[in-house]
Structure 1
Amino acid sequence: MSVQVSSQQLQEFLDFAVEVAKKAGEMIKDGFSKKKNVETKQSNADLVTETDQAVEKWVIGYINERYPSHKFIGEETTDGDVPCDFTDDLTWIVDPIDGTTNFVHSIPEVSYSMGLTANKEVIVGVVYIPVLDLMYTSMKGHGSYCNGRKLAVSSVEDLKQSIVIHEGGSSRVPAVVDTKMKNIHSIVNHSHGIRAYGSAAINFCRVADGQGEAYVEYGIHCWDFAAGMLIAEEAGAYVMDPDGGPCDLMKRRVLVACGEKVARELSAILTHLDMGRD
């Protein structure tokens, strides 16, 4: 049986997500200015700090207190060797710090990302950049906003006139790195250029706000882009799998653009990577 969510509940869930994001943001800001204890996970570029872990632990407890029947998927509490238990139930998908490498190096593009799914679709998305005090919010069917300002994607219609956001990612597997470098070469030759902000959630918000026409990444996780994807879609963006099919939250790759034409032009010049599933 599918989950039914009323308009009143949707607003309640968004208000809750904003409340959580503000409190998580205070923890992130506090950790941002202090010396960090850094550990590595899958590679020397896959980092985690005490703040990542502390924020997620607090968020899990706060959600369980308010909505004990809801499910939770988070970066620091997910076993990378076990598939995510992703169901139709109301599920909070959280990245406590998206942009941990930025956080470690005191670069302010560090975000807290929180999406809520029902029937495997994102219905609420919040991305907060606490150091810059930028709060991006969205509810399905109700548009997206930054600090109350309504967002809209760029009106550019051609890839050759576009800025494309693309990240190197944390994988250091030679074949993966080589393919990404090949894709960077292709993008540079078919666009105005490339940008990388170090946070998938922020990259989606940039596209949502017309600050770049497209974003593609291979190797990210559902917690990196659940919230940002909705924010971009509600601002008018076209989201799909990089190979042109429907976007799958668990497939670890995504392409978003200001319009379908730019999205498909970008897809056509890429060499696609299969990064597995969450």
Structure 2
Amino acid sequence: MNGSSIPYIVGSKSFTAVAVNTASKAGEWVKSRLGAIQNVNLKTSTSDLVTEVDKGTETLIRNLIKTHFPTHAILGEEGVGAGSTASAKALQEMIQEEYLWIIDPIDGTTNFVHGFPFFCVSIALAHRGEVIVGVVYDPMLDEMFVAEKGKGAYVKGHTTHVSGEKELSHALVATGFPVDHTVNLPRNMAEISQLVAKVRNIRSGGSAALHLAYVAAGRLSGFWEHGLSAWDIAAGSLLVQESGGVVTDTEGKPFTLAVRNVIATNGHIHKAMISELTEANAAG
């Protein structure tokens, strides 16, 4: 499906405009609740948190989307049970919907809880399983990253482009620490050990969606993480692709919404990063 054939307008309402407006309102609400959280609950581990703000924000997003597109399906993190099995099942049940909104009300909840200003609202729209609109909004910096399939990506009106580094030794990359401490975390630590001497440096901000947005904007050369769900990466994956980058699974297989172990880069260092990750896992 090419960009020109994608129906971005339905009933005179722009998908992208609704996504941007919804993300903005949700982000304003999230920012207003910073430091005023009343309930913090654990999901799968001590680093997998949910608050009343996550749930309230998702309700706000759902209501705004349904106001404009009442027949569209919505897949949101807080509407799905905890754990990888539940998230995979929820996606499988909804992936063939004609229009499916995929939302993460707060990507980076742990940061939000601690007042660490690196979290965002992530909203994507998929048409029959293919992401056609992606929006990632950072309310703390008031940065709205927007992408449309086949039409490019931008932030604050400026077109985004991935970085130009062609060597790992010049690359600033990022990762995220998995909430699964039995399999994915040891794997991740081995990969960090393998890569840290090969790249310029490694960061871990705590929000997969923002890391992807930073790859799209050229602020990071690459990003990888294990054990993610569709709502973590749907919007960000389109941002990277529309900015000239590459997104696959960590073995180099094509990206789909079902991918849980993701790598996104400027394209130049993609094969080299996968090679290092492969070597780390072989050694482990």
Q: What TM-score do you get using the length of structure 2 for normalisation?
A: 0.90
Who is 2:185 aligned against? 177
- Conserved in 2, the CA contact under 8 Å of 1:124 and 1:227? yes
Who is 1:111 aligned against? 120
Cα distance, 1:184 vs. partner? 0.4
Letter in 1 for 2:51: T
What is the alpha-carbon distance in structure 2 between the residues aligned to residue 53 and residue 91 of structure 1? Answer: 19
What is the alpha-carbon distance in structure 2 between the residues aligned to residue 55 and residue 62 of structure 1? Answer: 11
1:250 aligns with 2:258: yes
Letter in 2 for 1:122: V
Who is 2:102 aligned against? 93
- Conserved in 2, the CA contact under 8 Å of 1:45 and 1:171? no
Who is 1:148 aligned against? 157
What is the alpha-carbon distance in structure 1 between the residues aligned to residue 97 and residue 37 of structure 2? Answer: 41
Cα distance, 1:89 vs. partner? 1.3
1:202 aligns with 2:210: yes
5+ residue gaps, structure 2, are none
1:41 aligns with 2:73: no
Who is 1:64 aligned against? 66
- Conserved in 2, the CA contact under 8 Å of 1:70 and 1:90? yes
> What does the per-residue CA deviation read over 1:67-104, in whole Å, with 9 as the maximum and x for residues that have no partner?
11111111000134440221141000000000001100
Letter in 1 for 2:151: H
What is the alpha-carbon distance in structure 2 between the residues aligned to residue 61 and residue 35 of structure 1? Answer: 22
Distance 1:176 1:149, change over 3 A: same
1:188 aligns with 2:196: yes
1:270 aligns with 2:272: no
Letter in 1 for 2:234: A
Cα distance, 1:11 vs. partner? 7.6
Range with bigger deviation, 94-103 or 9-18: 9-18
Letter in 2 for 1:245: K
Letter in 2 for 1:264: K
Cα distance, 1:177 vs. partner? 2.0
Letter in 2 for 1:179: R
Q: Using the aligned pairs only, state the percent identity.
A: 35
Cα distance, 1:37 vs. partner? 1.8
- Conserved in 1, the CA contact under 8 Å of 2:109 and 2:119? yes
- Conserved in 2, the CA contact under 8 Å of 1:164 and 1:187? no
Letter in 2 for 1:18: V
1:213 aligns with 2:234: no
Partner-residue secondary structure (3-state), 1:269: helix
Q: What TM-score do you get using the length of structure 1 for normalisation?
A: 0.91
Cα distance, 1:7 vs. partner? 4.6
- Conserved in 1, the CA contact under 8 Å of 2:35 and 2:113? no
Who is 2:7 aligned against? 6
